């Protein structure tokens, strides 16, 4: 069993325990020794960050191969349209390539506590909320996706990673749980192909001497 920490990261907190520039870090909130973030959450983003004291668990959660779905609630500038949501669901083109299909839906104001500092507001431009679930982890991907469909992100809160969610965890607080993830199946090593290659080489080498042995006999006859 390994320990997993579910932390509700506030805005403008680094997802690390030290910083040479004096910015606020995880050390202001978490005093547990020898635990490390499993993945990242941007300085200007809020919500669920997972940490653990198990290196293998950390690798498995952060690894792209795990493809753990991550769910975000974002406040965007403008009244998001169904066409924009459809584009997010189908995948959008970013500078580093197209995104994989995502789950996207418009939701009501989730009722989060006001951010400090607050989100900028323009009286002439409304805002709306979107719940977005992706299975990738590119740099600032959610913000780039929303901007690509014409609705820039004003606030981003991650609420779920795989089976783990923020439910019941206040901002700046964390919960510790025990987890026991199953061991992933080993990838099949293509040993049969190697053996086949070795056998064919060995067979080729065996045929040549046999031909030389028969040749003298035929000559003597």
For the stretch 148-151, contacts whose Cβ atoms lie closer than 8 Å and that sit 24 or more positions apart, written own/partner, are 148/87, 148/92, 148/93, 148/94, 149/84, 149/87, 149/88, 149/92, 150/78, 150/84, 151/76, 151/77, 151/78, 151/80, 151/84
State how many domains the chain has. Answer: 3
154 and 78 in one domain? yes
99 and 75 in one domain? yes
Predicted local confidence at residue 184, as pLDDT: 56
**Helices (H) then strands (E): counts for the chain:** 4, 11
Predicted local confidence at residue 63, as pLDDT: 83
Structural domain span for residue 8: 1-65+166-187
Peptide bond into 117 cis (omega under 30): yes
Query: What residues of the chain score a pLDDT lower than 50?
Result: 189, 194-221
144 and 80 in one domain? yes
Q: Considering 21, 42, 53, 96, which one is annotated as catalytic?
A: 42
Predicted local confidence at residue 186, as pLDDT: 54
Kindly report the backbone phi and psi dihedral angles of residue 213, in degrees, each rounded to the nearest multiple of 5, phi listed first. -65, -40
Predicted local confidence at residue 62, as pLDDT: 86
Predicted local confidence at residue 123, as pLDDT: 83
How many other CB atoms sit within 10 Å of the CB of residue 121? 10
198 and 139 in one domain? no
Cite the DSSP H helix spans in the chain. Answer: 55-62, 82-90, 141-148, 191-220
73 and 157 in one domain? yes
Question: Quick check: is 21 catalytic?
Answer: no
Bridge partners of 4, per DSSP, are: 52, 177
20 and 2 in one domain? yes
């Amino acid at each position: 069993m390994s320990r997993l920490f579910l932390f509700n990261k506030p805005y403008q907190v680094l997802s690390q325990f030290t910083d040479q520039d004096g910015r606020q870090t995880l050390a202001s909130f978490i005093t547990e020794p020898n635990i490390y973030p499993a993945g990242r959450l941007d300085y200007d983003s809020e919500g669920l960050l997972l940490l653990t004291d198990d290196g293998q668990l950390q690798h498995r959660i952060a690894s792209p191969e795990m493809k753990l779905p991550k769910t975000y609630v974002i406040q965007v500038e403008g009244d998001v349209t169904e066409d924009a949501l459809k584009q997010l669901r189908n995948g959008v083109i970013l500078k580093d390539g197209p995104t994989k299909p995502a789950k996207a839906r418009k939701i009501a104001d989730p009722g989060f506590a006001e951010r400090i500092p607050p989100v900028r507001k323009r009286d002439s431009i409304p805002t709306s909320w979107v719940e977005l679930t992706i299975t990738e982890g590119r740099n600032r991907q959610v913000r780039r996706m929303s901007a690509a469909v014409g609705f820039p992100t004003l606030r981003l809160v991650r609420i779920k990673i795989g089976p783990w969610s923020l439910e019941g965890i206040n901002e700046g607080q964390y919960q510790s749980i025990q987890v026991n993830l199953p061991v992933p199946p080993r990838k099949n090593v293509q040993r049969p192909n190697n053996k086949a290659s070795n056998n064919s080489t060995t067979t080729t080498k065996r045929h040549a001497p046999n031909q030389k042995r028969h040749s003298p006999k035929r000559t003597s006859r």
